[in-house]
Copies of this chain bind each other. A is one copy, B any other.
Amino acid sequence: MQTPAPSPAVLDELKAALGPGGWTQDPEVIAPALTEWRNRWTGHTPILLTPRSTEETARAVAICAREGVAITPQGGGTGLVGGQIPFGEVLLSTRKMRAVRDVTPLDDAMTVEAGLTLLEAQQAATAAGRYFPLSLAAEGSATIGGVISTNAGGTQVLRYGMMRDLVLGLEAVMPNGEIFRGLKRLRKDNTGYDLKQLLIGAEGTLGVVTAATLKLFPIMRSRAVAVVGLETAAASVELLARAKAETGGGVEAFELMKRLGMELVLKNIPDTREPLDSTPDWYVLIEIASGTPGGAEAQMEALLEVAFEQGLITDAAIAQNDAQRAAFWRLREEHSAALKPEGGGWKHDVSVPISRIAEFIDEASAAVERFHPGARISVFGHVGDGNLHYDILPGVGQDIPAFIGRWKEGSQVVHDVVGTYDGSISAEHGLGRLKTEEVKRYKSPLEIETMAALRRAIDPKRIMNPAVLF
């Protein structure tokens, strides 16, 4: 889908509205913002707007609204589904709105602007003696506006929830150019529809998020990390239930890894080593945190003891220091990078009910084997969220380009199994340009039409990220 270019007069008006430093048409400056970081999309835009305030953002959007000119909002550009790449739309970057407006520890709240990176937001919380839990691989570049607009997930969702659960208040420029001033620090406010919940995860289609008030948490006083070996994926689900009970909800991360993925990390990533003495079919990385000094370690030991007794795990190693903790986490975090030297793969970000994870893995793997015999399957992900990164690699010695060429059909094989499990074909990455069409196969006409009607109500000219969503 291509969006027609705005007229020179409109471009002039946008330039005048934002003034020097508020826009650029320099191809070299714009170029990095047009390419998705995995080189899957390269877009184009007549102009890059970089407003420095909510008011400047509102001014620009108002002009576009009046003229029916389309806008693609962009944060850190780390999205994985192409939602941030313009194809003819005006590109509006929040990168110059980076203030920490306030931090109030007694409210467990802080208000930050959309262009602040997730890492900087975490650091601002820590500096105030609090913890902001959302954490993901791209946090050094991903921005608050972006993680809100995509309802980002990551590794701490099990205990703290998705970004949707971490936003107390929101400020946004609506598609008509008006400012929604919803930066409340309230925990309870039942006065009509929750507009901020509608904007969270809307992928920039209902407005431009300019600032948010985020929920903070106490800093934990003890933390324990272990890697355990299991015979089956089903055992990991039982182990999770046991871990939640044993800690009273104190599990911060619970990451499943299949032997193949571990082998590829050990093979392709330097300075990694087997975490266990054995080589089990499945691994889980468990992180427990507690408010009591020594509490997490005690809970981890109690958990592993029970798990051994019940035959849920076959091996375990508890990290003895920070370096070992980091080494364990690295084994999990390098799973994506470790696939690349194998010739790339068909990647899937799916979720299913936790209780059905093992069954799903078996059924999907059988379907993939029927579709492309010999393909290798790496499974890793957040068991506590039912969220698996289910990646398919060419078999050893198979023709890689031929394999890559079957990506679309192969993905549908996996997604169709997800569909029969009442799962989601985009657990945490969103739909963007990549999956908007495909998802229609798995959603009811009622859902699609209701979303489209809501969008028409808020953005009747469909100027906000027009190629994304319904």
B190 close to A424 (CB less than 8 A) = yes
A190 close to B248 (CB less than 8 A) = no
A238 close to B106 (CB less than 8 A) = yes
Which residues of B sit under 8 angstroms from A352, Cβ to Cβ? 186
Q: Is A165 engaged at the interface, CB distance under 8 Å to the other chain?
A: yes
Contact of A291 among B164, B181, B299, B425 (CB under 8 A): B299
Q: Which one, A92-100, A137-145, A401-409, A447-455, is touching chain B?
A: A447-455
Number of A residues contacting the other chain (C-beta, 8 Å)? 98
Task: Tell whether A187 pairs with B387 under 8 Å between CB atoms, given A106-B238, A174-B446, A238-B106.
Answer: yes
Complex alpha-carbon distance, A249 and B191, angstroms: 27
Contact of A426 among B162, B191, B355, B454 (CB under 8 A): B191
Residue of B nearest to A355 (CB): B106
Residue of B nearest to A222 (CB): B248
Which residues of B sit under 8 angstroms from A174, Cβ to Cβ? 446, 450
B245 close to A219 (CB less than 8 A) = yes
B187 close to A351 (CB less than 8 A) = yes
Complex alpha-carbon distance, A184 and B353, angstroms: 8
Complex alpha-carbon distance, A218 and B470, angstroms: 38
Q: Which parts of A122-170 form the interface with B (CB within 8 Å)?
A: 150-151, 153, 157, 161-162, 164-165
Q: Is A384 engaged at the interface, CB distance under 8 Å to the other chain?
A: yes
Q: Is A10 engaged at the interface, CB distance under 8 Å to the other chain?
A: no
Which residues of B sit under 8 angstroms from A16, Cβ to Cβ? none
Contact of A450 among B180, B219, B385, B469 (CB under 8 A): B180
Q: Which one, A113-121, A194-202, A318-326, A331-339, is touching chain B?
A: A194-202
Residue of B nearest to A238 (CB): B106
A422 close to B295 (CB less than 8 A) = no
Q: Is A21 engaged at the interface, CB distance under 8 Å to the other chain?
A: no
Q: Which parts of A434-457 form the interface with B (CB within 8 Å)?
A: 435, 439, 442-444, 446-448, 450-451, 453-457
Which residues of B sit under 8 angstroms from A470, Cβ to Cβ? 192
Q: Is A84 engaged at the interface, CB distance under 8 Å to the other chain?
A: no
Which residues of B sit under 8 angstroms from A109, Cβ to Cβ? 353
Q: Which of A238, A291, A431, A453 has the most CB of B within 10 A?
A: A291
Q: Is A315 engaged at the interface, CB distance under 8 Å to the other chain?
A: no
A192 close to B469 (CB less than 8 A) = yes
Q: Which parts of A366-387 form the interface with B (CB within 8 Å)?
A: 382, 384-387
A241 close to B105 (CB less than 8 A) = yes
Complex alpha-carbon distance, A454 and B459, angstroms: 11
A188 close to B104 (CB less than 8 A) = no
Q: Is A428 engaged at the interface, CB distance under 8 Å to the other chain?
A: yes
Q: How far is the CB of A383 from chain B (nearest CB, A)?
A: 10
B453 close to A190 (CB less than 8 A) = no
Contact of A425 among B191, B202, B292, B430 (CB under 8 A): B191
Q: Is A231 engaged at the interface, CB distance under 8 Å to the other chain?
A: no
Q: How far is the CB of A47 from chain B (nearest CB, A)?
A: 27
Q: Mark A237-250, 1 if CB is under 8 A from B, else 0.
A: 11001001111111
B202 close to A193 (CB less than 8 A) = yes
Complex alpha-carbon distance, A385 and B215, angstroms: 12
Return 6 A-B CB contacts under 8 Å, by A number: A106-B355, A107-B354, A108-B241, A174-B446, A195-B450, A218-B247
